[in-house]
Amino acid sequence: MTAGRALLPTATGAQAWTAVRRLLRPRWRSAALAVATLAAGTAIGLVTVRLLGHIVDLVAAGRPAGAITAPVAALVLIAAGQTLAAGWGLTMVARLGEGMLAELREQFMDRVLALPQDRIEQAGTGDLTSRVTNDVTAIADAVRTALPELVRSVLAIALTALGLAVLDWRFLAAALLAVPIQAWTVRWYAGRALPIYAAQRVSVGALQHQLQETVAGADTVRALRLQDRHRELVRGRSRDSVDATMRGVRVLTRFYARLNLAEFVGLGAILVTGFLSVRAGTATIGTATAAALYFHSLFVPINTALGLVDDAQAAAASLVRLVGVTTLPARPEPAGRASTAATVTVETVDHAYRPDRPVLCQVSLEVAAAERVALVGSSGAGKTTLAGLIAGVRRPTAGVVRLGGVDVADLDPAEVRRSVVIVTQEVHVFAGPLADDLRLARPAATDDDLRAALLRVGARDWLDALPDGLATVVGEGGHRLTVTQAQQLALARLVLADPPIAVLDEATAEAGSAGARLLEEAVARALDGRTGIVVAHRLTQAATADRIVLLDSGRVLETGTHTELSKRPDGHYAALWRAWSDHRAED
Ligand SMILES: Nc1ncnc2c1ncn2[C@@H]1O[C@H](COP(=O)(O)OP(=O)(O)OP(=O)(O)O)[C@@H](O)[C@H]1O
């Protein structure tokens, strides 16, 4: 569902052209060289036709067989030259396209990574994912196959027309009779094909959906004796899909039939012109043959270029979606103010993901440097949201979050990253050597630094057991880390990044009780000397904090030390603690 979503922007045609020109500018030399090489290949190829015409003239004049040895040898050389030039040219165009696509993709990812999380959520991650996958693939396909073919075809058409004109302008004029029919055919096709293809995709989608539903619900269908009804539904959808496909095939057949008509008209006109010119003695049979061959050699490039119209349209639609994201500002305007102090201030903050559903209301909180605050509360109370606001991952709907006394909104994003690091519930282990994964936090760290960070968070046992130590490949396709180990990895990254403030919303709950105890110790060591805001999923973690903040339905209900809060008669925290202690006693 995209209705009501603020989708990421789509560029206008003009913006897309500007982007393409900007990408092309530093590469204009290679672009010119690629086009020149392809043009040279095509031009050499055109000589073939002149030579064939020459051979026809030699044969018509009754010259001895030895006279055609030289033109035939030239034909072989030309074929070799043409193949080489086409190969180089196509490789250069593909390399150029790949380079431009890579740069566009980098710009795209740069902007995406700078987007605030709320903006991505507003658009829906599906929008972003489809741009990164489908749109990039559509452009990459076009760059790899359609673009080189298109450049070659356009060059072949232009140079062949030039060849015809040089041969004899009357033949060019005759060939041009085909152009109005071709232009009309393209207009006719473009108007009909798009809606037919769209309907075809819809009917294929509907058929797939029906098949899936029937297969997935087969037991229910059988139980309710709905087989006949479902058979009829599948048959109906299948018929629609066949009809739509056949409409597409018919339109395509007529498209090519009309192009054939254009070819027939052009070739007919050339043959009549040739016949009349040869009879009047103003052209040789060889020239007329060459003209007919020239025209014939236009069929393939013209059909290729017209056939690529679809691909070009799909690539253009994808291009405006990629360029649209790159038109977003690179990053919010930094005020360039530095904050190294480790205090956190939350001032009357409200937050809502949807306007009608407030998640945090008037939350205020002061955290002193090196203090450890535990956020507790039932599921959905707003703990993760508050943690995200403090870490600068999202912006409050109202109110201010200050780090070291400076509004997060005024801080340079790089400064925010230096001041505060968040460890979230889902730790992503990047595929690759463990050392690379750790160095994401501090690229200049030595192996000793990495080892020290892992030891500090209690990872000695599994580090020693890894087959290649720090060089062990972890993540997707490599050595699988357990939930606890992945959390320790995240904590080791925190130690390496060494920010003055740390926000932890980690998954001790998922780690099992032994893992959770291990992680609690790891957290305590990783937070040593830092200001820590910890979303405490286990109350034992809250009990050891300097202060506890209990959230309930987005409001701060209680705040104090464990000793104070647990003794409060009728206190919420006291009730939670009693329930937690009883539960543990039962275990
Ligand atoms: N990205 C989001 N978009 C929309 N609503 C959200 C989003 N994240 C959280 N919410 C909603 O905001 C409310 C508070 O969620 P939050 O995750 O902050 O609570 P929590 O106290 O951390 O809960 P838990 O302990 O289950 O993680 C919930 O009602 C939740 O459904």
| Residue pLDDT, tens place only, 127-168 | 777 777 777 888 888 877 887 888 888 888 888 888 888 888
Q: Specify if 37 maps to a domain.
A: yes
Do 407 and 552 share a structural domain? yes
Do 416 and 536 share a structural domain? yes
Q: Specify if 303 maps to a domain.
A: no
pLDDT given at position 3: 42
Contacts 24+ apart (CB under 8 A), 210-216: 210/234, 210/237
**Nearest CA, atom 6, ligand 1:** 353
Q: Specify if 304 maps to a domain.
A: no
**Spacing of C-alpha 536 from chain mean position:** 36
* Residues whose CB falls within 8 Å of the CB of residue 249, separated by 6 or more in sequence, listed in order: none
385 lines ligand 1 (CB under 6 A): yes
Do 266 and 117 share a structural domain? no
Distance from the alpha carbon of residue 504 to the mean position of ligand 1, in angstroms: 16
**Nearest CA, atom 12, ligand 1:** 359
Distance from the alpha carbon of residue 376 to the mean position of ligand 1, in angstroms: 13
The torsion angles phi and psi of 550, rounded to 5 degrees, stand at -100, 120
Q: Specify if 292 maps to a domain.
A: no
Atom of ligand 1 nearest to the CA of 353: 4
Q: What pLDDT, in 10s, does the model give residues 220-237?
A: 888 888 888 889 988 998
Atom of ligand 1 nearest to the CA of 551: 21
Task: Assess contact for 19 and 325: CB atoms under 8 A.
Answer: no
pLDDT of 339 above 60: no
**Nearest CA, atom 18, ligand 1:** 382
Do 197 and 82 share a structural domain? no
Do 79 and 185 share a structural domain? no
Do 553 and 435 share a structural domain? yes
Distance from the alpha carbon of residue 384 to the mean position of ligand 1, in angstroms: 7
424 lines ligand 1 (CB under 6 A): no
Q: Specify if 305 maps to a domain.
A: no
CATH number, domain with residue 327: 1.20.1560.10
pLDDT of 349 above 90: yes
ipTM over the 0.90 cut-off: yes
Distance (Å, whole) CA 504 – CA 373: 10
The torsion angles phi and psi of 241, rounded to 5 degrees, stand at -65, -40
Q: What pLDDT, in 10s, does the model give residues 285-336?
A: 888 888 888 888 888 888 888 778 767 777 887 888 888 888 876 555 444 4
pLDDT of 248 above 80: yes
Report the number of distinct structural domains present in the chain.
3
DSSP classification of residue 404: T
pLDDT given at position 541: 82
Rg (C-alpha) for the chain, rounded Å, is 35
| Neighbouring C-beta atoms of residue 198, cutoff 10 Å | 11
Distance (Å, whole) CA 42 – CA 149: 13
Q: What pLDDT, in 10s, does the model give residues 428-461?
A: 888 888 998 888 888 888 999 999 999 999 998 8
Task: Assess contact for 142 and 315: CB atoms under 8 A.
Answer: yes
Do 432 and 553 share a structural domain? yes
Q: Strand pairing of 420-423 and 372-376?
A: unpaired
Q: Specify if 339 maps to a domain.
A: no
121 lines ligand 1 (CB under 6 A): yes
Pick from 383, 393, 572 the residue to mutate for probing ligand 1's pocket: most ligand atoms within 8 Å of its CB.
383
Q: What pLDDT, in 10s, does the model give residues 320-332?
A: 888 888 887 655 5
Distance (Å, whole) CA 91 – CA 30: 11
pLDDT of 509 above 60: no
Q: Which domain holds residue 227?
A: 169-282
CATH number, domain with residue 574: 3.40.50.300
Token pair 């040898």 in the structure block, residue: 73
Task: Assess contact for 400 and 363: CB atoms under 8 A.
Answer: no
DSSP classification of residue 8: P
CA angle 336, 400, 393 (to 5 degrees): 70
381 lines ligand 1 (CB under 6 A): yes
pTM: predicted TM-score of the whole model, two decimal places: 0.60
pLDDT of 521 above 80: yes
The torsion angles phi and psi of 332, rounded to 5 degrees, stand at -60, 145
Q: Identify the burial level of 309 via C-beta atoms within 10 angstroms of its C-beta, where 0-12 means exposed, 13-18 middle and 19 or more buried.
A: middle
The torsion angles phi and psi of 398, rounded to 5 degrees, stand at -145, 160
Do 92 and 36 share a structural domain? yes
Q: Specify if 215 maps to a domain.
A: yes
pLDDT of 4 above 50: no
396 lines ligand 1 (CB under 6 A): no
Do 473 and 410 share a structural domain? yes
Characterize 368-384 residue by residue with b for buried, 16 or more Cβ atoms within 10 angstroms of its Cβ, and e for exposed. Answer: eebbbbbbbbeeebbbb
Task: Assess contact for 308 and 149: CB atoms under 8 A.
Answer: yes
pLDDT given at position 452: 94
Task: Assess contact for 547 and 560: CB atoms under 8 A.
Answer: yes
Pick from 361, 379, 389, 556 the residue to mutate for probing ligand 1's pocket: most ligand atoms within 8 Å of its CB.
379
380 lines ligand 1 (CB under 6 A): yes
End-of-domain residue from the set 274, 301, 331? 331
Distance from the alpha carbon of residue 426 to the mean position of ligand 1, in angstroms: 15
The torsion angles phi and psi of 478, rounded to 5 degrees, stand at -115, -155
* Residues whose CB falls within 8 Å of the CB of residue 548, separated by 6 or more in sequence, listed in order: 373, 374, 376, 536, 542, 558, 559, 560, 561, 562, 565, 573
375 lines ligand 1 (CB under 6 A): no
358 lines ligand 1 (CB under 6 A): no
Consecutive H or E run containing 502: strand 501-504
Do 209 and 153 share a structural domain? no
SS3 570: coil
Do 547 and 438 share a structural domain? yes
220 lines ligand 1 (CB under 6 A): no
**Nearest CA, atom 13, ligand 1:** 380
Distance from the alpha carbon of residue 6 to the mean position of ligand 1, in angstroms: 21
Do 245 and 122 share a structural domain? no
Distance from the alpha carbon of residue 549 to the mean position of ligand 1, in angstroms: 17
Binned at pLDDT 50, 70 and 90, residue 556 comes out as very high
**Nearest CA, atom 16, ligand 1:** 382
